Structure 1
Amino acid sequence: MKQSERNIQRTLPLDIAVKIASSLQVLDLCSLGSCSQFWRDSCGSDSIWESLTKQRWPSLHSSSFDPNTKGWKEIYIRMHREKAGSAAEVVGFVEQCSLSESIDVGDYQKAIEDLSSMQLSFEDVRMFLFKPKLNVLLNLVGLHYCIFCLEMPADHVMDTLVGCNILERKVHVKWWKLGRWFYGFRMRDESCSCWVSLEDLLTGKGEEVLGVLRRGAVHECTEIECALCASPCEISIAGSTLNSLVLPKHARNGLWDVASDQFIFIRILCQYVV
């Protein structure tokens, strides 16, 4: 360390040093704390880590703390590791369910429910799910969770997506609507699909798609899947629709329940080569 830097540290009041450190984000705070013993002590102030902990996890209650925990920095580290482990479980689940580069809406909504039960904060989602290197379906899961579970303002989420460089990433959403009844006859099921960016889902452009994803497979939608944006390699059955497919029961794998005349599940969808 240069002599001038030592002189500054000697003359800098501790409360001013703590004030400087308290204005930093966690990564910058840790970097500053590694510079010298003086800054390590300043950046380790309990008041700083208390503020960071409560800011990141506003719903955190002191009753949930381990009585053996020493100081707010240790609490922050423990919580960070816990949430990182929880997020890793969701990441693993979504990746396992999307090996074909698409995910069924049931699995998609389960991932949302898991995030909610784990009580991940917005900062947790930003750190663990808004990574550019992750599958865009995971970005989508995180976005959905922020909008509907955390009820974050759209402009705040959009600024975060810009900072994470994932705002323009796209997904392909496809769903089937049950055919309408017309004079005692049921019309063919209607196939709907849409390419949307994460930005679209935060604006009016993606309102319909966001509503479909939120409701899931209900009476007006029988099946929904999301796929990555890439070069399409479509698998189709020419001249056939769900209502006109004539296949053995075992071959259809339960695609159509004749007794109840209801659509159950289908995987005939565009597959995407990444």
Structure 2
Amino acid sequence: MEKGGGSSRFDLGSSSLPCDLSLDIVSLLEASDVCSLGSCSRFWQGLCASDSVWIALYKRRWPSAVSDLGALPSQGCKTFYINKHKKLASAVSDVIKSVLEWSKSGSMEVGYYLKAISDLGSMELGFKDVQLFLFRREHNVLLNLIGLHYCIFSLDIPPVDVMEVLESCQVSEQQVCVSWFMLGRWFYGFRLPDEHRSRIVSLTELAMGKEGEVLGVLNRGAIHEVLRVQITTVATS
């Protein structure tokens, strides 16, 4: 507190906390915040560049890829983290371009949809990656849906956690129309006409399991009695 000034100032040039405690606190921040803090002073620059900080960030973002760290990377853990982020960003960008190409008419066949999800799985994307790259309001809702599907079926993220992120990214009320055609049933030796079903659903309804049939159709694709599945964007006001 400044004498007579009535206002408080924080000295960002150093920390009065023990170094190990400061490292623990910094490790709880997001990577972007760590980089910002590191630009405040030489003290914080050194602390925020510590391998222990970036190892913690790496483990939190990519828990299934911890083995990639192995021995400490020769280029330093911060550089290793940033390079992995850039590599994933480039790979996801290719998937996004493909999805936009497949859905130029506003609709996409389920085969392409499932291929996009499979491609994401081969990259071993984490939950944070989906938030950064796919849960973006400016994106086509089909990309939001692909990210949602990946979180539920590939990452097993609890619905409440998915919903929290959808809301924070302002995409929870985005809607799609899912249409599927089913082989007509046999009735006393006669096959009935093929059935057409269609649902308009929001990402919230899918995330919270309120439209389990639709999510099941999307996950299985066009197999057995389901002849065709198509996903169409729905304009929202």
Give TM-score scaled by structure 1 length: 0.77
Q: Which residue of 2 aligns with 1:159?
A: 164
Displacement of 1:59 after TM fit?
Answer: 1.9
User: Does 212-221 or 6-15 show the bigger shift?
Assistant: 6-15
Q: Deviations 1:54-82 (Å, cap 9, x if unpaired)?
A: 11111224457698632211111111111
User: Does 205-214 or 174-183 show the bigger shift?
Assistant: 174-183
| In structure 1, distance between residues paired with 2:68 and 2:27 | 25
| In structure 1, distance between residues paired with 2:62 and 2:107 | 32
Aligned residue runs from structure 1 range 124-273, under 5 A: 124-230=129-235
> Percent of counterpart pairs with the same letter?
48
Which letter maps to 2:225? Answer: E
| In structure 2, distance between residues paired with 1:129 and 1:7 | 35
Which letter maps to 1:106? Answer: G
| In structure 1, distance between residues paired with 2:153 and 2:130 | 13
Select 2:128's aligned residue among 123, 126, 129: 123
Mapped contact 1:102–1:227 kept (Cα < 8 A):
yes
| In structure 2, distance between residues paired with 1:142 and 1:89 | 15
Structure 2, unmatched stretches of 5+, are 1-8
Select 2:113's aligned residue among 108, 112, 127: 108
Q: Deviations 1:2-44 (Å, cap 9, x if unpaired)?
A: xx76696275654444344223111111111112222111111
User: Does 7-16 or 78-87 show the bigger shift?
Assistant: 7-16
SS at match of 1:222: strand
Displacement of 1:217 after TM fit?
Answer: 0.5
Q: Deviations 1:61-114 (Å, cap 9, x if unpaired)?
A: 445769863221111111111111121121111111000011000101111111
Q: Which residue of 2 aligns with 1:56?
A: 61
Q: Deviations 1:161-210 (Å, cap 9, x if unpaired)?
A: 11111111110111111111223322111110000001101224211100
Mapped contact 2:117–2:146 kept (Cα < 8 A):
yes
| In structure 2, distance between residues paired with 1:215 and 1:7 | 54
Q: Which residue of 2 aligns with 1:69?
A: 74
Q: Which residue of 2 aligns with 1:34?
A: 39
| In structure 2, distance between residues paired with 1:7 and 1:102 | 52
Bigger Rg over Cα: 1
| In structure 2, distance between residues paired with 1:64 and 1:42 | 20
Return closer, same or farther for 1:82/1:69 CA change in 2, 3 Å cut-off: farther
Mapped contact 2:206–2:212 kept (Cα < 8 A):
yes
| In structure 1, distance between residues paired with 2:124 and 2:205 | 26
User: Which protein has greater RCO, CA pairs closer than 8 Å, 6+ apart?
Assistant: 2
SS at match of 1:155: helix
Return closer, same or farther for 1:42/1:190 CA change in 2, 3 Å cut-off: same
Mapped contact 2:55–2:77 kept (Cα < 8 A):
yes
Displacement of 1:215 after TM fit?
Answer: 0.9
| In structure 2, distance between residues paired with 1:94 and 1:164 | 20
